[in-house]
Amino acid sequence: MLIASLAISFVSCTPVERVKEKELKVLSWNVWHAGHAKNYPEKGCEGTIGILKKSQADVILMIETYGAAPMVADSLGYDYVLLSDNLCIYSRYPIKKTYLFPDSISTFNFGGVEIDMDGTPVRLFDTWLHYLPDMRLVPTEQSEADILAWDDAGTRDDEIRRILSVLQPMIRQTDSIPMIMGGDFNVHSHLDWTDTTKDMYSHGGAVVEWTVSKEMQNAGFKDSFREIHPQPEKNIGATWIYDNEDKPVRSDRIDFIYYQGKTIRAVTSESYNQELTKPLEFMGEKFFYPSDHGFVLTTFKVSSLEK
């Protein structure tokens, strides 16, 4: 009887580990020249900050920051790191580390941080790939090989390969420290230019295995928006609306939030876009829309062990 009592006492004193999930909302947005233009500076700044506040994003990956960082950070009450004139990351959580790789990739193109989510580390990276060749000019009448040759003539493919190269040590650690990588990639996705969409969205019959998105997939990254919305024919998730002279208005997805890791999963992801200066209906409110890019808002669940 005594032995049984001791065994029960021993078991009850053993720490029990359980998995706890925390929510992390990440927003990626090219705000277009600090979120304003000369003809509407006040409205533009108010619209940018209003949208960011309403989103309740925990982390914001901003592109084309250009002087807006202190004002945005003060308005949100967030920590921030200005990676370059172009890129800035804001966080509700403390930023513990900054990652820059100037010997391999310009800080204008790429950089990141590590945040502390109440004891759980998460690494987030902000990205801008070169805008040329211009995605408005995709020669859809040509073969896939010719389209890829046209695209590969620019620097984006080299940029993404250099980025993925410097990330390799941290990619190997994503089982324990999850990684999120977002931004303006200035190029389409092979997940969007499929057989089901070849006659939609002004794709001109083209099916294209775009190099950058394929490189991201091959490196183990998941496209959070396309994971949640796996049928592009039903929801393309446009982040860029433009009128190209005599061609019809096109809506393309060139802004992304990718991620990988065993302790992270995407649970919702939405793309919001609006024509420049027209009001955006966002979460029940109207906001002046200050950018030529839409934004992506993904909610993740990040798990950690508790004792």
156-175 pLDDT, tens digit each: 999 999 999 999 999 999 99
Bond before 248 cis per omega within 30 degrees:
no
Q: What is the pTM of this model?
A: 0.92
**If you average pLDDT over every residue of the chain, what do you get?**
92
Residue 11: both structure tokens together: 């078991």
- Give 177's contacts (C-beta < 8 A, 6+ positions apart): 114, 121, 122, 123, 170, 261
| Contact by Cβ (8 Å): 275, 243 | no
| Contact by Cβ (8 Å): 20, 306 | yes
Residues in the chain: 307
- Predicted local distance difference test score (pLDDT) of residue 241: 76
Terminal Cα distance for the chain, rounded: 30
| Contact by Cβ (8 Å): 112, 89 | yes
- Of residues 208 and 43, the one with the higher pLDDT is 208
Closest CA to 255 of 185, 190, 201, 157: 185
pLDDT tens per residue, range 95-125: 999 999 999 999 999 999 999 999 999 999 9
Closest CA to 216 of 226, 206, 201, 203: 226
Phi and psi torsions of 177, nearest 5°: -125, 105
DSSP state of 246: T
| pLDDT at 10 > cutoff 80 | no
- Predicted local distance difference test score (pLDDT) of residue 7: 47
